[in-house]
Structure 1
Amino acid sequence: MRRRLLLTLPLLTTLPARAAASTALPSVRVIEPPLAMPGLDRQRTLRLCLPASYASEPGRRYPVIYMHDGQNLFDAATSFAGEWGVDETMQTLGFEALVVGIDNGGEHRNTEMAPYDHPELGKAEGRAYLDFIVKTVKPFIDAGWRTQAGREHTAMIGSSMGGLISHAAMLWHGDTFSRFGLFSPSYWAAPQLFDDTARATLPTDTRVHLYCGGREGGSMAGQTRQMHRRLARQLPPEQLGIHIAAEAQHNEAAWRAELPAALKFLFRPG
């Protein structure tokens, strides 16, 4: 029963549960038309949050944060069970960066964000999904907006299965991203990541913020601590953070509360 409950967790961020008024700030826009996903025969909508100074400082370039589950990042009207409030958080912190939200694939979410095949989740499409981000989304964003395109200015943040595939990106695309926010990563769905992480050689400037709620159930917190120990063998303490929020559960409210600390650790804004 516990495993059955855990298997439902990645699905909690797929579709809106009820109609709600839009809460997105004017800095957020939906990019149309959706981008084609090579190798997956699908299309995907992007949501873009621009920094406050973007229009007033036309010569300035900005770091970029790529995030999964775009429907849940900026707007209660499109979220499943509350939004992350990424736009409000960026405004409150005064942190000037572009945030690119990549919508999840609904019924395809679990397989797209799975690094490896899983007997219950199905055949993994994680490599194709990450290739879409690296080879299609990032070039599209870098060509259309004033970004700091180098890996040292580029982050990936995700939760649940999004945290899992963000960890895979750290291993497979360390030449594109250098900063990773791994929120409630579903390591139970890809135990291979433990050995693959132990064998990996991470770039020396990689920064990682691990987070998990203490009330998420199953082995979530324990596996997050275990992965922290694996990463601590490769990264110095100042580049590796972990926070287990004892009373937090597996939901957008918890991830919203953690986001400011993660951004401060990964980018040290201000």
Structure 2
Amino acid sequence: MKFKCAFLSVLLLLCACTEGSKANIQPSTAAANVEVLPFKFVLDGLDRQRTVRLYLPPDYALSSDAYPVLYMQDGQNLFDQATAYAGEWGVDETLNELAQQQALKFIVVGIDNGGDKRINEYSPWENKRFGPAEGELYVNFIVEVVKPFIDNNYRTKPEPQDTAIIGSSMGGVIAHYALHAYPQVFAKAMIFSPAYWYSSEVFEFSKSHKAALNAKIYVMFGDKEGDGMIVDTGRMERQLKEQGHPRENMQFKRVVGGEHNEALWRQEFLPAIQWLFAP
């Protein structure tokens, strides 16, 4: 049974959130305040280029305010059904409604995944089955290339407490890594359905590279994602508590009936962002 769950997780990991190489003839569902930046960013050390999608608050052009920034993985799946592999998160609609109802506003930087390179780019640790680790280079790319560009060209709040890193599955792994590797950059992480099974080194790394004590960590998973998911997230929760991370700055949420898919991540995005940025 455990092998079956692990095998299913691998299949989902390989197919979810890939580049839109499969024909998808659906009309765009992206809101008017979402744009694709007109050039691609270069990933140093990997000889690749990457599309970045940008969400600005609805009243951005009419205000002089600065905003917190969410750096989100799998950009193709965040805003637009036409580019999403298996359904979009609806981040733009959710945040537009949140801005209107609660005046809680963000800039979102959606970084497209690398298609068949996604697993490697989202892992800082080598896996003999899936290949080399490129996660360190990928996070360096966010920190040293993407974030400086966004901070220099848009009205951001660049401090760690206003900077979140977000991802699901392997994207959750790289979000977890970024929070611990760069506490001076990220003080908030939304980690959905993390693929901690990919490498046990995530646990050792979290011990030797602790997140800042004021960092807020939101981990969410569904109870239908397999026994491995439940065991691994439970282990991480216990470890972080034992390491002394304040319990009020951690939230581990198990969703009854939740499966490993965009539908779950879309459903849980709003409560997660509200918790991370609660006053």
TM-score where L is the length of structure 1: 0.96
Q: Which residue of structure 1 lines up, in the alignment, with residue 117 of structure 2?
A: 108
Residue aligning to 2:17? 13
Q: 1: CA distance between counterparts of 2:19 and 2:31?
A: 21
Matches within 5 A, 1:35-114: 35-57=41-63, 59-94=64-99, 95-114=104-123
Distance 1:180 1:13 in 2: 19
- Identity of counterpart residues, as a percentage? 42
1:232 to 236, 241, 244: 241
Q: 1:263 aligns with which of 257, 273, 277?
A: 273
Residue 163 of structure 1 corresponds to 172
Bigger mean CA deviation after superposition, 139-148 or 226-235: 226-235
2:19/2:113 contact within 8 Å kept: no
CA distance in 2, matches of 1:142, 1:10: 32
Deviations 1:129-148 (A, max 9, x none): 00000000000111111111
Task: Work out whether residues 24 and 87 of structure 1, in 8 Å CA contact, stay in contact via their aligned partners in 2.
Answer: yes
Is contact 2:19–2:114 with CA below 8 Å preserved after alignment? no
129, 154, 173: which one aligns with 1:145? 154
Q: Matched residues in 2 for 1:107 and 1:32: separation?
A: 23
> Residue in 2 aligned with 1:27?
33
Q: Which residue of 2 aligns with 1:4?
A: 7
Question: If the length of structure 2 is used for normalisation, what is the TM-score?
Answer: 0.93
Q: Which runs of 5+ in 1 are unaligned?
A: none
Query: What SS does structure 1 have at the residue aligned with 2:60?
Result: coil
Aligned to 1:190: 199
The Cα shift of 1:217 comes to 2.0
For structure 2, the 5+ residue unaligned runs are none
Aligned residue identity for 1:64: V
Q: Deviations over 1:200-219 (max 9, x none)?
A: 33212100000001101240
Summarize deviations over 1:154-181 as a string: whole Å, max 9, x none.
Answer: 0001000000011111121111100000
Aligned partners of 1:86 and 1:256 also within 8 Å: yes
TM superposition shift of 1:4: 2.8
Q: Deviations over 1:52-97 (max 9, x none)?
A: 221111x211100000000000000000010000001111222211
CA distance in 2, matches of 1:134, 1:10: 25
Question: 213, 216, 230: which one pairs with 2:222?
Answer: 213
Structure 1 counterpart of 2:265, one-letter code? W
Q: Matched residue of 1:32: which SS?
A: coil
User: 1:190 and 1:28 mapped to 2: Cα distance?
Assistant: 35
Which amino acid in structure 1 is aligned with residue 185 of structure 2?
Answer: T
